[in-house]
Structure 1
Amino acid sequence: MHTGPVLVVRWAHNGRWLASGSDDEIVMIWDMDPNARGKVWGSDEINVEGWKPLKRLPGHDSADVTDIGWSPADRYLASVGLDSKVIIWDGYTLECVRKLEQHQGFVKGVCWDPVGEFLATQSDDKTVKIWRTTDWSLEAEVTKPFEDSPGSTFFRRLSWSPDGAHITASNATNNKGFVFIAAVITRNTWTSDISLVGHENTVEVATYNPHIFLRNSSAPVSTSNICSVVALGADDRSVSVWQTKSARPLIVAKEVFDRQIMDLSWSWDGLTLYAASSDGTIAVFNFTSEELEGIAPHSVQEQYLSKFGFTLPPPPHGYSHIDTKHPTPPPSPSRTNIEVTKAVVHGEEVNQLVARRGKKKRVALVPNSAAIPSAGGPSHSISTAQPLSKRAPLTQITTSSKVPPTSSFGFPMPAEQPYEPPHSWVKNGGPMDLDVPIDSFGGDGSISTRGKRKMSDDAMPVARIGRTLGGDRKVEPAGPVKQLGNWGGAGVAPAQTHIAAQQLGSLLPGLPLLSYLRSDVEDSDLFLEARNSEEDHTTEVSLVSGKQVQWLDFLPSPVIALKATPFFCAVASQDGTLNVYSHTGRRLLPPMSLGSAVSFIDGNKQALMAITSSGQLYCWNVKQQKACFAPASLAPLISTSPNHTILSATVSPNGSPIIHISNGVVYSYDPNLLSFIKVTERWWAENSDSWHGRARAAQSIRGVMTLTEYLLNGDDKNFSLSDAINNASSAGATSHPAWWSTAITLGHLETRMHAIKLLDSSAEYRQVVLLYAKKIADEGFRAKAEELIKELFGPVYWRPGREDNVPATICGIPRRDLLKDVLSIFARSKTLAKLGLDWQDTLKRANNEEL
């Protein structure tokens, strides 16, 4: 069961399973329980069906699960959350297939290409990313028109059209953020030249009708004869329904709810639209096939999509989604009881659906007893309700003799918003006309409509196709791993290498020379291995996927350390050389000579770190092919005492090293300050009220800073976690100066803010800023509060001759979004309430550009 509010629910296409996501960080899979009985809460009605939890899918790190989606044929399930991750689950085994971590902000929407070739996600980093499902690499990144989109929405739910031609993405803006729109992104070119304009506030969700529509029902099915229907829900409490053949909306229902719209869903037959709001109510919009003219059966969509020539991977052996227990759901309820009146507006004939309103604005819904819902069918939502008296007025455009110069609907003219699907796509470098009937295509599958892809910079492991270096060789078992004696290569004796290291001043112990080394790629069956053969003094490096060698290489010096990430493979040799390969075996960087052998090596996404035995620290961004900072010596950290050693050394995704010394201090290097900084230290554990290393379950640790503080005690052999707790508990018996605990807690929080900013951990930065704000509000430290406010606000006025290059974000979070939360804390405090309220007014005026 979920332990927090449920934010999203999605039926599998075959109706066998139900997936739900919650702010308890869990995706839950539900299966129907035929033996379940019980009454509907608050009434005497008996439940039609009962569903039981089948499996919990943990994986999102300390973050809400904001959206989930099933792929075509339920081959995969994708989930996204506020940890900025996209997780792909196998739709049969429900095991994690891949984690995609290229987003730099909260991910709040996901949708699948109906063909199955692509996956789209939308994030607070103001991008829509398109992923290839063949290797989960990045196909394209769309940034326009999302540059000025607000970051205050709960969701950014996007949808893919049933013909595969377009994605409609929410939370887009035009005119520097003053016009709220939904952006329509075209397949293959991934451009967003089309906008759906008219809502008075941010569009929160877009959902396509699952059916393809024909412009001319009597004409053959072809690209030029196909259109789609998409519904938009916005923070202005309104719902609009668009048909892509028209530049104006089909339906606009204004102020349907008391609060913003959170989600939309169409029924499987395409004639009912459900809308959910944060005010706790659901609205139902019923249509007839005459109103949604040209609706085609699902078989037409299946036939049309088959011409793309793309096939999803087969299910695992022994798995199937076939289930005959669940019946097909009933059709949507009829609308025979709705009164329709005709009117003429500016020469345009319209149908007006007007219902009576009560005193309350909230829409009241009563279930229709004639239509029994079936949760097990392929319906996207439960179809059970009929419209009643308390219903928002709807206006539907049915015929158009001419377009009036102005409209009360607030949407653009057709000439201003041309919306025509492309008539040709690109295939094999040349144009291909799809404006032909489906029946004219050959049935042998020789013609594919798949377009030419863009090359991705963030390439994931490559597909195992074509001839590769060493790909014809079988994987040999590793055998027993043994430590080898010293042997060199390329005419360099190991003793000479060792002497050279001593001459440079060896500060750290070297790594042993082993016959076999291996490094696994996270969330993949890929692994990098090295074999040092003592018999013939050869060193072989290879990347292996399962039982297949992807590539191999030979090096002149034996390998002492390896690190493989989803983006690169790093190999450190005994002679101090570092080689970096792509997953195809191509050298991404020239062989780098570090002067002495490596003692520590680590990689994280595109960041690579190495520490040599001479105490030199190196960090590189492999993608950008440059160093994160100049090499830095660790001598100041470990030379102060002969007993100080490095316990661990890792690197964050942004290239910041995290070095744990045996004296109980964790350091990092700040290239802006050209010095090492203290990330955290064991001393905070004794007196700080905000120490995160106290006893807790290991699996509950989330965030790099929190994990660092938790592991700090366990990694120190001379100081255990129980020692920290005992010292903290005995502190009360020790006489301390006044303000001791307050000063240390504030110092700890201020240190954490600087360290987290360097490590670029956005979720933790928001948390520590709010903790810091609450602490100074509780203590009533007005001067500290004002300084924090001004730092987050930035410059208020422009002055001649002064250039303020203050970044708009901190750790990817807009500064003034943080300030808004901080001011909310100050406004509720007893001592800083006036300060908070005054600055809230200033912030409001600044956002409205009154200052």
Structure 2
Amino acid sequence: MRGGTVQINWHETKPVLTCDFHPLSGLLATGGADYDIKLWATVSGIDQKKSPGVTYQSNLSYHSSAVNSLRFCPLGEQLASGADGGELILWKSHTTDAGEVWKVHKSLVFHRKDVLDLQWSTDGAYLISGSVDNSCIIWDANKGSVHQILDAHFHYVQGVTWDPLGKYAASFSSDRTCRIYINKPSKTKGVEKTNYVCQHVISKAESQMTDEPKSARSHLFHDETLPSFFRRLAWSADGSFLLVPAGSHKSTPTSEPVNTAYVFSRKDLSRQESLPALMLPGASKPVVAVRFCPLTFNLRGTNTLSFFKLPYRYIFAVATLNSLYIYDTESIQPIVIVAGVHYAAITDIAWSPAGNYLALSSQDGYCTLLEFENQELGSPISLSEEKNVVGDANKSPVPEAINNISNSDSVDSRNEIIENSHKEEEDDKDGKEASPSTRVPPSKPAKRRITPMAID
């Protein structure tokens, strides 16, 4: 793996707030506080034994305020971008003699305040957005109109996501709740319409005092004082589990909270109360974004103690305010830790469609680009194999992806990993002192130490 903070003028030295890769061409799109969207082509550095880079392609100018979130449609022909002031724009690609050109297609008007996050449905028919006006809106992308408003949150909605199987949607707010919505289609004049209703409000969990027979309920998530406008959550590609950032776990009411990301099993979402199935190792700073690699990988068979019961591997990235962890579902310990590459908060994560690039955007005005060598992350499953393997795993209406474990067991079995995570970041407490470095955990001696290089 090679990478580092690319030292170019991304958005006139202003904060880069979001990033995403085109699902077909692999172009990297970034949005920033300069009100613009820029498209970049990645440049590999592996053959030259250098860090990867980017070359500027084009500029999309229309927004009149900072662009907080952008996402390409899964089919690749549209791009959605949300900005301050409630601006939400759909861009559409056009093929010309000069090449591909992106033009404003629709302006979606209803949010009264800043749009902080958005995501397309798997089929590209709908878009969900979250806003500072405390609401989520499901949009009909073809009509460019409001399909449904979900307005039960009491504070900013900072993260939204779709279940890839179409049954659920989720929203995450600084009111310290994650809401899970289930699709209960309604019929009007014989026509069935999607209709999402809130099934669960995930907010608190019990923490047991060792000397008290009664348990106390503590909040699972950080409050509005979290120094980030983003809590970007994500589903796994098979829909088997939901990964939620901004976790704050207390094993007892008197213990110090530990920063974490939670894993919620799909099968638990059908129960009366949804509780985390797994708590990922804590970091010194809060988790603000998570993102899955788009590829599905073959099992390596190196870990028999995995908490995930999948016949394949997923790889996902977890970003804190000042560091990055990369995990796979075959183990619970991060396979790579990247720290000290930015001077201000990380804002977004994006994987390229081939899984060979991972991009981080930051409020310091720069982006970090990591490049993975062929099969460095593992052996990808071919599309035909993936369809069969994932299809078999999902034949049951409720895929069993995660072993049943208690929260207390989850915490106890990870104390050493949490300590290692803190050691990795102890020289980066302010996000400024440490030199850029990419490390693997000390307990993974087989992995090599890599140092990213800046691009000239």
Shorter-chain TM range is: 0.5 to 0.7
Match of 2:428 in 1: none
Superposition deviation, residue 101 in structure 1: 1.1
Kindly state the Cα deviation for residue 208 of structure 1 after the two structures are TM-superposed. 1.1
The answer (yes or no) to whether the contact 2:80–2:91 under 8 Å persists in 1 is yes
Residue deviations 1:519-561 (CA, integer Å, cap 9, x gap): xxxxxxxxxxxxxxxxxxxxxxxxxxxxxxxxxxxxxxxxxxx
Structure 2 residue 263 is the aligned partner of structure 1 residue 184? yes
Q: Is the 8 A contact 1:108 1:154 kept in 2?
A: yes
After TM superposition, give the deviation of residue 193 of structure 1 in Å: 3.1
> Could you tell me the TM-score, scaled by structure 2's length?
0.63
**Is the 8 Å Cα contact of residues 2 and 24 (structure 1) preserved in structure 2?**
no
Cα distance in 1 for residues equivalent to 2:258 and 2:309 = 31
TM-score (norm 1): 0.35
Decide which structure has the larger Cα Rg and report it. 1
Q: Which amino acid aligns with 1:7?
A: N
The answer (yes or no) to whether the contact 1:212–1:228 under 8 Å persists in 2 is yes
1:164 to 231, 239, 242: 239
Deviation at 1:191, TM superposition (A): 2.4
Partner residue of 1:270?
355
Which among 89, 93, 103 is matched to residue 52 of structure 1? 103
1:27-49 C-alpha deviation (Å, 9 max, x unpaired): 10001244597xxxxxxxxxx64
Q: Which residue of 1 aligns with 2:315?
A: 229
CA distance in 2, matches of 1:12, 1:36: 24
State the partner residue of 1:194.
Answer: 278
Give the SS at the match of 2:123.
helix
Cα 1:240–1:131, aligned 2, differ >3 Å: closer, same or farther? Answer: same
How far residue 213 of structure 1 moved from its aligned partner, in angstroms, is 2.4
**Deviations 1:158-214, CA, capped at 9 Å, x for gaps:** 011112111111101112663111111111313203111242111110111122223
Kept in 1: contact 2:336–2:440 (CA 8 A)? no
Structure holding more helix per residue: 1
Verify the 8 A CA contact 2:181 2:197 in the aligned structure 1.
yes
The answer on whether the counterparts of 1:343 and 1:349 sit within 8 Å (CA) in structure 2 is: no
Structure 2 CA distance for partners of 1:303 and 1:118, relative to 1, 3 Å = farther
Write the distance in 2 (CA, Å) between the matches of 1:71 and 1:101.
19
Query: Is contact 1:212-1:300 (8 Å) kept?
Result: no
Task: Give the whole-Å Cα distance in 2 for the aligned partners of 1:85 and 1:347.
Answer: 43
CA gap of 1:93–1:82, structure 2 versus 1, over 3 A, is: same
The 5 Å alignment of 1:543-554 reads none
Is structure 2 residue 82 aligned with structure 1 residue 21?
A: yes
Q: Which amino acid aligns with 2:360?
A: A
1:100 matched residue in structure 2: 150
Give the Cα–Cα distance (whole angstroms) in 2 for the partners of residues 168 and 137 of structure 1: 20
Letter in 2 for 1:234: T
DSSP 3-state at the match of 2:161 = strand
- Distance 1:76-1:299 versus aligned 2 partners, 3 A rule: farther
2:162 is equivalent to residue 112 of structure 1 = yes
Shift of 1:108: 0.4
Q: Secondary structure at the match of 2:81?
A: strand
Equivalent runs, 1:723-734 vs 2, <5 Å? none
Q: Name the CA distance, whole Å, in 1 between partners of 2:116 and 2:396.
A: 29
Q: Which aligned pairs between 1:79-90 and structure 2 lie closer than 5 A?
A: 79-90=129-140
| Letter paired with 2:346 | I
- 1:350 is aligned, of 447, 450, 453, to 447
Of the three residues 1, 23, 30, the one matched with 2:91 is 30
Cα distance change, pair 160–14 in 1 and its aligned pair in 2 (3 A): same
- Provide the residue aligned with 1:173 in structure 2: 248
Q: 1:347 to 1:160 in 2, by over 3 A?
A: closer
User: After the TM superposition, which residues 659-698 of structure 1 pair with which residues of structure 2 at under 5 Å, given as runs?
Assistant: none
Contact 2:311/2:389, CA 8 A, preserved across alignment: no
Q: How does 1:765-780 map to 2 (within 5 A)?
A: none
Mapped to 2, the partners of 1:121 and 1:177 lie a distance apart of 27
Does the 8 A contact of 2:337 with 2:440 survive in 1? Answer: no
**Does the 8 Å contact 2:334/2:440 carry over to 1?**
no
Query: 1:155 Cα shift?
Result: 0.7
- In the alignment, the residues of structure 2 paired with residue 344 and residue 201 of structure 1 have an alpha-carbon distance, to the nearest angstrom, of 17
The match for 1:68 among 86, 101, 118 is: 118
Match of 1:138 in 2: 198
Q: Structure 2: 5+ residue runs without aligned partners? A: 1-61, 185-194, 206-218, 269-273, 302-307, 398-438
* Structure 1, unaligned runs of 5 or more: 38-47, 312-341, 357-363, 367-851
Kept in 1, the 8 Å contact 2:300–2:378? The answer is no
Per-residue deviation, 1:9: 0.7
Match of 1:417 in 2: none
Worse overlay, 283-292 or 344-353: 344-353
Higher relative contact order (CA 8 A, sep 6+): 2
Kindly state the Cα deviation for residue 296 of structure 1 after the two structures are TM-superposed. Answer: 1.9
Partner of residue 296, structure 2 = 212
The answer for the alignment partner of 2:305 in structure 1 is none
Aligned-residue CA RMSD (Å): 2.9
Deviations 1:444-463 (A, max 9, x none): xxxxxxxxxxxxxxxxxxxx
Equivalent position SS for 1:74: coil
Partner AA of 2:257 in structure 1: F
The 3 A distance-change label for structure 1 pair 95 and 215 is: same
Cα distance, 1:50 vs structure 2: 2.9
Contact 1:208 1:228 in 2 (8 A): yes
- Separation in 2 of the partners of 1:212 and 1:198? 26
Q: For residues 279 and 102 of structure 1, do their structure 2 counterparts lie closer, same or farther at Cα, with a shift above 3 Å needed? A: same
Local SS of the residue matching 1:24:
helix
> 1:785-814: CA deviations, max 9, x gaps?
xxxxxxxxxxxxxxxxxxxxxxxxxxxxxx
Q: How do 1:249-648 residues align onto structure 2 when only pairs under 5 Å count?
A: 249-304=334-389, 306=391, 308=394, 348-355=445-452, 364-365=454-455
- Counterpart AA for 2:65: G
The letter of the residue matching 2:110 is G
Paired position in structure 1 for 2:222:
149
The residue identity in structure 1 corresponding to 2:66 is P
CA 1:215–1:310 in 2, change beyond 3 Å: closer, same or farther? closer
The amino acid across from 1:185 in the alignment is F
Percent identity between the two aligned chains: 26
Check the 8 A contact 2:94/2:103 in 1, yes or no: yes
